Amino acid sequence: MGKETYIDARYAPFEAAVPADLVGKEDYYVELVGGSRKIQLYTNGLAIGVLHQGLQGGKEWSVRLLGCGGTYRARANGAIAHLADVKAENGGKAVDQAGSGRALGYLLSPVAGAVAGDVCEILDVLA
């Protein structure tokens, strides 16, 4: 019987399905491509984390995994009130959960609320 790999940290490296699609997309939500360990910007799958940075060589990216506690950064795409539930939208940006979809945390900063383009601090609490 083979050993199963696991990650015991908040950040993990993943290979990009299409590396060019992730350039300049730090702080966007990502998901796994079905049947692989490659990532892409969130569409409608299961968000696994937020893109942190590209690693040397251009094919692998560091991802801040969700569900690890603490806070993480995400880029907003619209108005999000302070302490509102946040979810990922198609394309990988954060939006107000507004009662539908999987909540990925709560907006902590900016305290005045987020607008499109803001880099936000999200409390990492999965619902």
Where do we find the tokens 């880099």? 119
Separation between Cα atoms, residue 112 and residue 35, nearest integer Å: 41
pTM value is 0.93
| pLDDT number for residue 5 | 73
Could you read off the pLDDT tens digit of each residue along the chain, which spans 127 residues?
Answer: 667 777 788 999 999 999 999 999 999 999 999 999 999 999 999 999 999 998 877 789 999 999 999 999 999 999 999 999 999 999 999 999 998 889 999 999 999 999 999 999 999 998 7
Separation between Cα atoms, residue 105 and residue 27, nearest integer Å: 14
Domain boundaries, the chain: 11-65, 71-123
| pLDDT number for residue 59 | 86
